[in-house]
Amino acid sequence: ETGVTQTPRHLVMGMTNKKSLKCEQHLGHNAMYWYKQSAKKPLELMFVYSLEERVENNSVPSRFSPECPNSSHLFLHLHTLQPEDSALYLCASSLSVLAAYNEQFFGPGTRLTVL
């Protein structure tokens, strides 16, 4: 595997379910990101991790819970979601959060539908 991979690619869940999204980067990067992409809206940065520490939490509801066990893996744990949380969730990684090295590489995304 190369680049940034995300699983699953598609997920349908009920509002009472608990599920997790997984992201893995094979680039040796130190920073990882979660974005939400909704129709007709700009990409929204949700979380930023640098060297496995969360450095940004962009006022995201607590029903979204990120986890970064090591610099290669990033999870987004989901519970009691709402239909408006249906979106494409994109993971990205970069060498560093420092701007000079912040070329971000994106995964293909997980298309989430909340019923």
Partner 1 sequence: AQSVTQPDIHITVSEGASLELRCNYSYGATPYLFWYVQSPGQGLQLLLKYFSGDTLVQGIKGFEAEFKRSQSSFNLRKPSVHWSDAAEYFCAVEGRNTGKLIFGQGTTLQVKP
Q: How far from 10 is each of 7, 17, 20, 48, 49, CA to CA, in Å?
A: 8, 15, 12, 23, 24
106 scored as a contact of partner 1 (CB under 8 A) = yes
Residues 6+ apart with CB under 8 A from 42: none
- Residue in 34, 50, 64, 78 binding partner 1, rule: CB under 8 A: 50
| Residues belonging to the chain | 115
Min dist CB 80 to partner 1, Å, is 27
- Using the minimum distance from each CB to partner 1, give the nearer residue, 17 or 56: 56
41 scored as a contact of partner 1 (CB under 8 A) = yes
60 scored as a contact of partner 1 (CB under 8 A) = no
Residues 72-101 that bind partner 1 (CB under 8 A): 90, 92, 96-100
